[in-house]
Each structure stands twice: as C-alpha cells, then as structure tokens.
Structure 1
Amino acid sequence: MRFSLGFLLLLNGVFLVSCSSKKITDTSYLSSSKAKETNIPQLNIFVPKNTKGSASPVLIFVHGGNWNSGRKGTYDLLGRNFANKGVITVIPDYTLSPAADYDTMTKQIAAVIKWTKDNISKYNGNPNQIFITGHSAGGHLGALAVMNPKYGIDPKSISGIILNDAAGLDMKNYLEQNPPTAENDYVATWTKSPANWREASPIYFLDKNTPPFLIYFGDKTYNSIKTANKRFLDALQPYQAGVVPIRLNKKHIPMVVQYFWPWSDRFDEVVDFMKLHTK
C-alpha cells in the first residue's frame, strides 16, 4: 500500500500532538447524585504533558450540532492541539434535543464552567484565566451561559469569549421570522414562547461587564449565521467598539475542522487573544 507524502506528514503530526499532551476522559461535572445516573454528560480534559512552573490558561470548548447532535469525542484533535500550545482544554458533552431544551443545555454548560473554576487547579490550570469558545450551537450555549445572569456565572470570572461561526446569537429575531416546528427538534429546543426565545438570545444580555470577544465567521456560512453575527456585532459596538470579526473564506463545518490541523493560524490567534486578556 502506498501513502502520499502529505498523508504521512499528517500522521506524523497527529502522533506528535498526541505525545505532547494527555487526555483525562469522562470526568463528571454535574452533582454526584446526577452523575450516577445513566446518559449523564461528562467532559474530557486535555493537559500539556510538561506543565511546570506557572499555571496554564484554560479554554472550554463547546461543540456544535444544531443543538440535537454532536459529541465531545469528535474534537480530541482540537483539544490536543490547544494543549500542545500550552492551553488546558476542557471539552464537555451536554444533553441534546429533544431530550433537553436550550435552557437545560445552558445550565449544563454553566455547570461545566463552575466545575472548571473549582477543579482545574488540580491539573495546573489557572482558575482566573478561563476562556470559553464554541462552534455553531456551541458558541451560542457558551455565550449564553456566561451572559444571561439566570445561569449564575459572574461574567467577570470569564477572561474572554471566542465565537466560531456561532449560531443562535439572536434566536428571538430568527424564530419570529421562522417559527419553530418539529423539524430539527426546534419546538423541543426553543419552545413556542417568544419570551423564551429572548431569554435564549445572548444579544439581549450584552452590557459593560460582558467579557471581551474574539469573533470568527465564514464568508460561505449559512445566511442565518451571517445575519445573527451582524446583529450581534452591531449591538456589541457600544461596549466593545474595537471588536472586528475575523472573516474566513470557509463554509460552516470547515470553520471548526480547521482546528484539527496543528498548523492552523487559529491557534496563534486564540493564544494571542488569551495573552492579551490575561487577568
């Protein structure tokens, strides 16, 4: 069997990344009583193997999947690549629709943030340097958990939010024009209540205490994501006038797949953002 040079280099890169980090698998982040139940979501932690000296910054990555699909295990390479850059990376699962609505999912992501704050020092992570990121639905859930005060996260405890082609930033606006149906489990996810749609939308919780943003979106992404990101950026300007999104000539899925390759420029951009906003 013959392999191309590119494929062999890719295998070598994946091997080197795997060797330079360790993975702690299936850690419970919910209360001990719930953690004993079946099908309760857990998280993975990716830690640089050489964590000597000062504590490392921490990145929580929330996966996407239209709120009804996806799993943490898909993103092992992302976790390992960030760990190779000296960033402890936490990747949780969460209960998907139709078994859960957006509110339950967001409560779980808030629980991930609280768990990380309380426990990451055990892995030489700095609990005062926690950043949250997510792709698509994951960007929505991560931002909402931090920004909507009902979820109990002090926004000042989060050093920054990194949105990667985030969906759902203004679900109120989207669902008013496209009322939810059973398709994609949207009734189960969002309910039929406009009041809930507003509570589900990070755009309505922007204020002077909102953590700093780094925002990516793809020029070839879905129109709904382009529209919501534009509305969000406009609403963000009074509080963070200097935020200029990084636009990439990519479709929606490639916006996250690029993190599977260790040579992506995104790693340096994110690490630089984290250094800039280190408390």
Structure 2
Amino acid sequence: MKINQYLLILLMLPFFNCASRKFKDVPYTKGISKTDSLKLNVFEPRQPSAEKLPVIIFVHGGNWNTGDKDTYGLIGRNFAKRDVVTVIPSYTLSPKANFDTMAKQIAEALQWTEAHIADYGGDPNQIYLMGHSAGGHLIALISTNPKYLETTKAIKGVILDDAAGLDMYSHLQQQPPKSENNYKTTWTEDPEQWKAASPIYFLSEAAPPFFIYVGTKTYQSIKIQNAAFLERLNKFQPKVSPIYLKKKHVPMVTQFFWPWSDRYEEILGFIGLK
C-alpha cells in the first residue's frame, strides 16, 4: 500500500509544480561563519485566490543535529496548493550551534518573513508557525520566551506536531546530557540553561494560540512533556485540546507528504480558511 502511495505522489508531482511556485535558497540571515548565510525556501500558489494569503513557517525536526529544509518541499507545495504561502527555513545544527543559537535563527526567519513575505503574496499580519519534533520546540520557545522577540504579535498561531523539548529542564535532570547526539553541546551542562530552553516555563496570557498534535505511539518523553505543557497551557488557553493520532514519531511528519491528509483541513480550520 505504501509503495502505491509513493508512486501516486510521483505521478502527481507535475500537478504540484503547476499549482505552486518554489523560490529556493533565499538568504535570510548570516550563518555561524561570516561568509555563510542561512537560507529558506518559499512556496506560493501560482493562481492565488486573494491578494494577501495566510503564511505558515514550517520548521523541521531532527533531534537538533540532523535535518534539511529541502526534505520538506512536499509540505510547502501541499500548503501552497491550498492558498497558504509557506516558508521553510534552514538553521544551524548541533554541534555547530546550541539551542539558543537555533532559536535566534528561527526568530530571524520570522522577522525576514514579516518584512518580505508580501513580495510572495503572503500577508505579514497572518503568520503561523509550525514545527515537528525539534522544530516544534524551537517555534514554541520563540513564541513564549520574550528573549527572542520583542513582541509575538506577528505570530497568529503555533502548530506543534509531536513537539520535543517542551520541558528539557525536567527531562535533563532525570537524564543528564551526554556527548551522544551532541546533547552536551545542544543543551550545555547548566541546569539554568535547560530551564531557559524549556517553553513550558514561559507560558503566559501573552502566548499565541496553540494547535497541537501528539502521536500515541511516539517517544515516551514527548508524551510526558506534551501532557505537562498542555496542563500549564490550559490555564491560559482552556479550550486547547490536542489531536491524538495513532502514529509513531516520524510518521507524524511524513503524513504531511500525502496531499490528501486530513491534517491539512484541520490546520486550514485553525488558521481560518475553513
């Protein structure tokens, strides 16, 4: 069945290309090296239904040490086909960067989007953040910790897809960071930094609206941290209730590769297009 689905997607790729336009490797800020720049991809519909369309910035996961924006082009095209301009940024991975540098870079991707997305048919007043796994952590962090943005007014909503790292302070107290997976670099060995990295401790009435997916077959640490995050979030946003899906961690994002996924209709409802 899965082989048939992949074959169907391959057959439909020309349609996706006709329905959307991709702008690849647009520089948005300087990288770690003075000679490097971080880049993003933008996807816009070829025949938009309005002059200004809502925008989703999708941030990929990969345990903070792997991943590539170009892997997720189908997500950009699937949203663009539905009249959502989509931005997919790269960011510096561990061990070349820690969580703080990554979060600052994603905040800069948001600022670039505010300043330039109108050139691609997007509405800078309708920007939503979406992230899977480590990407979910980074968007939750910049949406809650005031260190990263002077104001979160530009963020109309936050979509967490099986987000990791929502309470690294509690997690790393039980399982201190090791060199494995570059965790000593990503999180440091300072408990104060673990807390600063944890979005759960920065939730407040100022937080943007959240929309949350959690896999019932995902990693136990993700289940625990999402449950704790939701309990605290509900003090400020009592109507938020996660959508639980019978999936493991990776399928929670690959489901978005399928253009017929029900997730798109749910997200369109969240951003006000349904």
Relative to the length of structure 1, the TM-score reads 0.93
Q: Equivalent residue for 1:169? A: 166
Measured in 2, the distance between the counterparts of 1:166 and 1:224 equals: 10
Letter in 2 for 1:63: H
Q: Equivalent residue for 1:84? A: 81
> In structure 2, do the counterparts of structure 1 residues 116 and 212 end up closer, same or farther at CA, with 3 Å as the change threshold?
same
Measured in 2, the distance between the counterparts of 1:238 and 1:53 equals: 36
Q: Equivalent residue for 1:60? A: 57
CA distances 1:81-133 after superposition (whole Å, capped 9, x unpaired): 01001000000010000000000000000000000001101111000000001
> In structure 2, do the counterparts of structure 1 residues 121 and 12 end up closer, same or farther at CA, with 3 Å as the change threshold?
same
SS in 1 for 2:271: helix
Q: Deviation above 4 Å: which 4+ runs of structure 1? A: 4-8, 33-36
1:197 pairs, out of 190, 194, 198, with 194
Shift of residue 59, structure 1, vs aligned partner: 0.1
SS in 2 for 1:41: strand
1:209 has 2:170 as partner: no
Shift of residue 152, structure 1, vs aligned partner: 1.8
User: Which aligned pairs between 1:87-102 and structure 2 lie closer than 5 A?
Assistant: 87-102=84-99
CA RMSD, Structure 1 to Structure 2 (Å): 1.8
Measured in 2, the distance between the counterparts of 1:134 and 1:193 equals: 26
Shift of residue 154, structure 1, vs aligned partner: 1.4
Relative to the length of structure 2, the TM-score reads 0.95
SS in 1 for 2:24: strand
> In structure 2, do the counterparts of structure 1 residues 123 and 261 end up closer, same or farther at CA, with 3 Å as the change threshold?
same
Shift of residue 172, structure 1, vs aligned partner: 0.4
1:130 pairs, out of 127, 132, 135, with 127
> In structure 2, do the counterparts of structure 1 residues 231 and 276 end up closer, same or farther at CA, with 3 Å as the change threshold?
farther
In structure 1, stretches of 5+ residues that fail to align are: none
1:246 has 2:256 as partner: no
Q: Quote the sequence identity (%).
A: 53
Letter in 1 for 2:64: W
> In structure 2, do the counterparts of structure 1 residues 170 and 155 end up closer, same or farther at CA, with 3 Å as the change threshold?
same
Q: Please say if residues 21 and 84 of structure 1, whose CA atoms lie closer than 8 Å, have aligned partners that are also in contact.
A: yes
Shift of residue 145, structure 1, vs aligned partner: 1.4
Measured in 1, the distance between the counterparts of 2:7 and 2:149 equals: 47
Letter in 2 for 1:25: K
Q: Equivalent residue for 1:11? A: 10
> In structure 2, do the counterparts of structure 1 residues 41 and 7 end up closer, same or farther at CA, with 3 Å as the change threshold?
closer
SS in 1 for 2:147: helix
Q: Please say if residues 49 and 83 of structure 2, whose CA atoms lie closer than 8 Å, have aligned partners that are also in contact.
A: no
- Aligned pair count reads 272
Q: Equivalent residue for 1:260? A: 257
> In structure 2, do the counterparts of structure 1 residues 196 and 35 end up closer, same or farther at CA, with 3 Å as the change threshold?
closer
Q: Equivalent residue for 2:137? A: 140
Measured in 1, the distance between the counterparts of 2:4 and 2:84 equals: 30
Q: Please say if residues 32 and 92 of structure 2, whose CA atoms lie closer than 8 Å, have aligned partners that are also in contact.
A: no
Letter in 1 for 2:203: L
Q: Please say if residues 172 and 197 of structure 1, whose CA atoms lie closer than 8 Å, have aligned partners that are also in contact.
A: yes
Q: Equivalent residue for 2:46? A: 49
> In structure 2, do the counterparts of structure 1 residues 21 and 153 end up closer, same or farther at CA, with 3 Å as the change threshold?
farther
Q: Please say if residues 110 and 153 of structure 1, whose CA atoms lie closer than 8 Å, have aligned partners that are also in contact.
A: no
Shift of residue 51, structure 1, vs aligned partner: 2.5
Measured in 1, the distance between the counterparts of 2:79 and 2:269 equals: 12
1:71 has 2:59 as partner: no
Q: Equivalent residue for 1:232? A: 229
Q: Please say if residues 146 and 153 of structure 1, whose CA atoms lie closer than 8 Å, have aligned partners that are also in contact.
A: no
Measured in 2, the distance between the counterparts of 1:121 and 1:149 equals: 26
Shift of residue 34, structure 1, vs aligned partner: 7.5
SS in 2 for 1:95: coil
Q: Please say if residues 98 and 187 of structure 2, whose CA atoms lie closer than 8 Å, have aligned partners that are also in contact.
A: yes
Measured in 2, the distance between the counterparts of 1:58 and 1:211 equals: 15
Q: Please say if residues 219 and 249 of structure 2, whose CA atoms lie closer than 8 Å, have aligned partners that are also in contact.
A: yes
Measured in 2, the distance between the counterparts of 1:52 and 1:263 equals: 20
Q: Equivalent residue for 1:152? A: 149
